[in-house]
Structure 1
Amino acid sequence: MGALSKRALGAALMEQYITLFACPICQSSMHVYEQGRLVCAANHSFDIAKQGYVNMLTHGATSKYSKSLFESRKAIIDSGIYDAIEAKIAECITSANTVLDTGCGEGSHLARIMAEKSKGIGFGIDIAKEGIVAAARHYPQQIWCVGDLAKSPFAPSSFDAILNILSPANYDEFKRLIAPNGCVIKVVPQSGYLQELRAQLYADSSKETYSNEQIVARFRESFHKVDVERITYTVPLAKELVAALLEMTPMGWYKKDNTDILLNEITIDVEILIGEA
């Protein structure tokens, strides 16, 4: 008997954790049908792709994030510049059996965090199909969904930990999805984040510095117990990764064609917000 296809492997994993899913249209429970679809009691159906992910969008969606951008993002994350952040998150969710990464992109952060903690299952959701296609291709050990948090395909109280790493948040949905005694972890950039890049792109402008005080304040308002930890460090950046960094961050999208960016190191400066619902 030959090896299972990626679709069959993805379907088997989804079937194992099927109680965590809910139809994004009618919120009813779901089941896996013939290793090829997720189907709810009202017969709403969502295909499992040959790459092993499931598309559960209920509406058309366009994304400015391209296949090339996600390849660049994976290259940067694989280089290890976020290792300390991923290790800290893994430490915070050691006991979590079910982990949801919202705005997961191509899945590299979630896959590396789950490998670090060595137990449990990771779910990744993103509205950008290209990111989820890449995630399913590279990390078949986790469950990947194209979906919108405003109509998410998950049942209430399903996740022991919800991650929101340098991505927009939906706090109402986070509170619906988090299990009792679970936690929500949001990573936000602080004033020194990628400062070497910002200094060259935005020299002498208001964008050279910025603050996320309002985002942190909103997080504190949304959860009754909040811990905040700041992580700051500077790491070498290989010359061949400069173009990838420019492509993966919105800052780089506005670079003038005749602007040379010279970087041999980069600063990571973030706050990790840990909240209990």
Structure 2
Amino acid sequence: MSALSKRAAGAVLMNNNIKLFACPICKESMRVHEQGRLECSMHHSFDIAKQGYINMLTHSAASKYSKDLFESRKAIIDSGMYDVLEGKIIELMAAAKTVLDTGCGEGSHLARIMAHREGIGIGIDIAKEGILAAARHYPEQIWCVGDLAKSPFAKTSFEAILNILSPANYEEFKRLLVPGGCVIKVVPQSGYLQELRAQLYADSAKETYSNEQTVERFRESFAEVMVERVTYKVPLASELVPALLEMTPMGWHKTEGTSITLREITIDVDVLVGKV
């Protein structure tokens, strides 16, 4: 950022897309005030951080996700492990130009997806550490610490909403979608990271996985639903194994002294596309 500080550059991005925002307290429209904060007509205000992101949480929120986890997640995504999946998402998004990534973490999926298209991406996550990393690495998009239960966005704002391996809020998704927009949710299928699952959970019920209930709830939430399975294997460099263990909840249950050896890993997911 040569001419502008990160705070000022973030403020410019937010100002250029201010119609996407609404006050999470009173739902009034917002404006950028003196390049330092977002403020609504009722004078509720939220500071733009020096790193360029905005914190719009209305309550304190503890996150179990650490800086190390987000660094590991970025390393894994940057390795290309999810390239095929991201390509499928780009295809399914068609020409969407306003994109919200819910549970965006450190922002790598959204940044990589938006690099291939025109438009603006906004990432939201309740974990401040993730948004800090996103703002540091990807200043071309807007990053927001927030909670969809008290959403900081205006209704009918987004042409596409992404929900990649993350909890969902379907009622809020439907409020935020423009007519004809879509929600793209990614959920694990039975073979997702199966090589890791087999070593961590051998001979236990956790060695197998079903997403049937999640898919059924998605079907119940949208009038038009398409489900596409994406399955492939990728080689895994030995130095990335610790990062994979750090970023996935499966790895958090690894007992001390357990040796994990992985030369390849399976990505096996259902990509759910919903329209209202």
TM range (shorter): over 0.9
Deviations, residues 84-107 of structure 1 (Å, cap 9, x unaligned): 110111111131110000000000
Distance 1:66 1:138 in 2: 17
Secondary structure of 1:52's match? coil
> What's the counterpart of residue 62 of structure 2?
62
Alignment of 1:205-224 (within 5 A): 205-224=204-223
SS at match of 2:88: helix
Cα offsets for 1:45-94 (capped at 9, x unmatched): 10000110000000000000000100000000000010011011111113
2:253 aligns with 254
Aligned match of 2:119: 120
Q: Distance in 1 between matches of 2:47 and 2:4?
A: 17
CA displacement 1:8-58 (0-9 Å, x = unmatched): 000000000001100000000000001100000110010000110000000
Match of 1:3 in 2: 3
| 1:242 partner SS | helix
Cα offset, 1:153, TM superposition: 0.1
Q: How many residues align?
A: 275
- Kindly indicate whether residue 153 of structure 2 is the aligned counterpart of residue 154 of structure 1: yes
Letter in 2 for 1:77: I
SS in 2 for 1:188: strand
Aligned positions of 1:108-257 closer than 5 A: 108-116=108-116, 118-257=117-256
Residue 268 of structure 2: aligned partner: 269
Give the unaligned 5+ runs of structure 2: none
Q: Distance in 2 between matches of 1:96 and 1:212?
A: 27
Shift in Å at residue 155 of structure 1?
0.3
After TM superposition, the score normalised by the length of structure 1 is: 0.98
CA RMSD of aligned residues (A): 0.6
Aligned to 2:45: 45
Q: Output one character per residue of 1:125-170: Cα deviation in whole Å (capped at 9) or x when no partner.
A: 0000000000011000100000001001000000000000000000
TM-score by length of 2: 0.99
Gaps of at least 5 residues in structure 1 are: none
Deviations 1:224-274 (A, max 9, x none): 111111010111000000000000000000100110000010000000000
C-alpha distance in 1, partners of 2:137/2:264? 27
Amino acid aligned to 1:104: C
Q: Give distance in 2, aligned partners of 1:135 and 1:89.
A: 20
One-letter code aligned to 1:59: H
Identity across the alignment (%): 77
